Amino acid sequence: MSAKGCSPDNAAAEGFFGRPRQEFFHKRSFAGVSMDGFINMLNDYMVWYRDRRIKTEFGMSIMDRRRELGLVA
C-alpha cells in the first residue's frame, strides 16, 4: 500500500468522482426524491456518462469512438 496522503495514487479516483459531483449532484435538488428515485437518477446519469457524454479527447462520445474504430457493432 502507498503512503498516507500520497495524492498521485488517488488522482484517478478523485478525478472520476469529482465529475459526478459537479455534473450531477450540485446542479439539482433532491428534496422529495425517494431512495429508489435517486438510485434511478444516478443510474441514468452513469449510463449517459459512459455512452453519450462527449469526451474532448475524441470530440465524440466514447461509444461513437468505439464504433468508429470498429470495436462495437
Highest mean predicted confidence (pLDDT) among 5-9, 41-45, 61-65: 41-45
Using CA atoms of 29, 30, 31, 34 in order, give the dihedral in degrees to the nearest 10: 160
For 8-52, write each residue's pLDDT tens digit: 777 888 888 888 899 899 988 999 999 999 999 999 999 998 888
pLDDT at 3: 64
Angle separating helix axes 7-20 and 35-51, nearest 10 degrees: 110
- H-helix segments, the chain: 7-20, 35-51, 62-68
* pTM: predicted TM-score of the whole model, two decimal places: 0.69
